[in-house]
Amino acid sequence: MIKKISISLVISFICSLASAQQNVSFRQANIVSPVVNEAGTVTFSLRAPLAQTVTVHGDWEANGGLGQMSKDSAGIWRYTTGKLPSDLYMYAFSVDSVRMVDPSNAFSYRDVGNLFSLLIISHGNGDYYSVNDVIHGNVTRMWYPSAQYKTDRRLTVYTPAGYDKSKNKYPVLYLLHGSGGDEEAWVTLGRVPSILDNLIAQGKIEPMIVVMPNGNPKQAAPGETSENFNYRPVMTQYMPNFADGSYEISFNEIVNYIDSRFRTRPEKSQRALAGLSMGGFHSLLISANHPDLFDYVGLFSPGTPSSRALDPTRSAYQNLDEKFARQKKNGYKLYWIGIGKTDFLYEGMQAHRKRLDKLQFPYTYVESERGHIWSNWRSYLLQFTPLLFKK
C-alpha cells in the first residue's frame, strides 16, 4: 500500500535526485544569456572571472557583428548590441582567443566546422523561424538507394501537417544546401520545418513536401557515415568527386525515389528545385540538364558557370547555352534568382545574367542587402515558396 508522504519529503527527494544525477549539471545558474531587451537590443553574459579579454561575434550587421565585452566585479562579462532586425542570429564567444558557444544558451547548431549559439528576435521574419502554436509537419531522416554512387544515401524529408491522415497527393520542393553543408542544413539553420508550418498555417503557401538531399557525392551529415566521429566537416570543394557533375546528372534518381515513396504529384508543374550557394549552382545545372522535371527553379546566392571553373569533359557542364535554350523552349513557370549586394558571388551572377539575357531566358531577379549569409537564404525561402504551385 502507498503511504501518504509529506510535501517536505517529496521536496527532499526531488533535491536529492537532482544532486545525485550523474553527468548532468545545469547551465550557469545565475546567468541568463542571451536576453532580448524590449528595445530590440540583445545582451550577452558570460561568467569568466579569470579571463583577460572576452568578445562576442555574430552574424548581425550592427557593430559589424562584433562586441568587446566588459567585466563586472563578480567576473561576469556583458555586451549589449544595437537594435537588431527581427531574424535568427548565430553567435559565439572568444575567451582569451578560445572560441566557445554560450554555456547559458541551450540552443546551438553546427555550420560546417563550428558550433554557434542561436537567438531569435521576434516581430518580423524571426516569427517564421519560430515554433508557433500551429499544426506541425513531420521531418524524416531516411535513406534512398543511389545507383549513381552505389550506396544508400541520406535524405531529410519534411511532410506537411495532415499528410499522414489524408490520401491527397502533394507537390514537392527539392531544396539543396551549400558547400560544407549537408542534409541537415536547411532543417537547422534554414528553419524549414518552422517556415513551412507557419506559411501553410497562414494560407500563404500550398502544403508541400520538402526534400533535402546531400549534395556532396558519397557523403552524409557528420556522424551518419562509417567515418563516424573521425569525420571532420570541410567545405565541399575539399571532398572527392567535387564538381564532376555526377550529382547534377543523376539527380532524377532522387526524384524517382521520392515519387515512388511519397504521395507526390509526379508532374513538372508540381515540382520545384532551389538551393543556396553551391546548391544554387546545382539547381541551375540540374534544371538545365533535366528540363522536363521542374516548372519552378530558385537560385539563392548561387555559384554560376561564370563564377566557377567547370571541367569541360563532364557532360553536365557541356553545351550549356543549348541546354538553356531547350529549357526555355520547354517552358517553366518561375526561374527565381536572389543575391545580396555584397555577396562575393555578385559579379559572377551579373555575368551570368548577361548570358541569360542574351539567350532571352526569362527570370525573376531579386537583390537584397548584405551577402552570403543564412539570413538571406531564409528570407529568400520566405519569398520563393509563396510563388510555387499556383494554378
148-187 binders of its own copies (CB under 8 A): 152, 161, 164, 179-180
Window 94-153: residues binding its own copies (CB under 8 A): 95-101, 103, 105-108, 110-116, 118-120, 130-133, 135-136, 138-143, 152
Q: Which is nearer to its own copies, 130 or 269 (CB)?
A: 130
361 C-beta neighbours (distance < 10 Å), count: 16
CB atoms within 10 A of CB 379: 21
Considering beta carbons, is residue 239 or 366 the nearer one to its own copies?
239
The SS3 of residue 107 is coil
**Of 209-217, 266-274, 329-337, 367-375, which segment contacts its own copies by CB under 8 A?**
367-375
Which phi and psi (to 5°) does residue 302 adopt? -80, 150
Q: Does 317 bind its own copies (CB under 8 A)?
A: yes
Taking the least distance from each CB to its own copies, the nearer of 132 and 350 is: 132
Q: Which of 203, 228, 240, 329 binds its own copies (CB under 8 A)?
A: 228
Q: What order do you get walking across the sheet with 35-36 strand by strand?
A: 35-36, 42-47, 76-80, 70-71
Q: What is the number of residues in the chain? A: 391
The pattern of x and - marking residues 234 through 253 that bind its own copies according to CB under 8 A reads: xx-xx---------------
Per-position x/- string for 248-287, each x denoting binding to its own copies as judged by CB under 8 A, each - no binding: -------------x--------------------------
Q: Cell 540583445 sits at which residue?
A: 42
Interacting positions 368-387 with its own copies (CB under 8 A): 371-374
Q: Is the distance from CB of 134 to CB of 198 less than 8 angstroms?
A: yes
Which one, 237 or 364, has the nearer CB to its own copies? Answer: 237
**25 interacts with its own copies by CB under 8 A:** yes
Range 69-95 burial, b when 16+ CB lie within 10 A, else e: bebeeeebbbbbbeebeebbbbbbbbb
* Cβ-based nearer residue to its own copies, 21 or 360: 21
Q: Min. distance of Cβ 163 from its own copies in angstroms?
A: 10
Please give the Cα distance from 12 to 19 (Å, whole number). 11
Largest CA distance in the chain: 86
Region binding its own copies by CB under 8 A among candidate stretches 199-207, 244-252, 365-373, 381-389? 365-373
Closest to its own copies by CB, 92 vs 388, is 92
| Grid cell for residue 72 | 563586472
Min dist CB 303 to its own copies, Å, is: 8
Q: How far is CA 76 from CA 34, 46, 96, in A?
A: 13, 6, 14
Min CB(269)–its own copies separation in Å: 26
Helix (H) or strand (E) holding 327: helix 320-330
Does position 31 interact with its own copies (CB under 8 A)? The reply is no
> To the nearest whole angstrom, how small is the minimum distance from the Cβ of residue 259 to its own copies?
13
**Is the backbone of residue 257 left (phi > 0), alpha (psi -120 to 50) or beta?**
alpha
Shortest Å, Cβ 46 to its own copies: 7
Place of cell 561575434: 57
Q: Does 20 bind its own copies (CB under 8 A)?
A: yes
Which residues within the stretch 38-57 sit at the binding site for its own copies (CB under 8 A)? Answer: 46-52
CB of 384 closer than 8 Å to CB of 274: yes
Distance between CA atoms of 368 and 213, rounded to whole angstroms? Answer: 26
Locus of grid cell 543549348:
322
161 and 197 in contact (C-beta within 8 Å)?
yes
Q: How far is the CB of 88 from its own copies (least distance, A)?
A: 9
Nearer to its own copies by C-beta: 24 or 203? Answer: 24
Give, as ranges, the residues between 184 and 203 that touch its own copies (CB under 8 A). none
- When asked if residue 73 is in the footprint of its own copies (CB under 8 A), the reply is no
Question: What is the rounded CA–CA span in Å between residue 189 and residue 110?
Answer: 9
In the bound state with its own copies, the residue whose beta carbon lies nearer, of 2 and 391, is 2
Q: Is 17 in the site for its own copies (CB under 8 A)?
A: yes
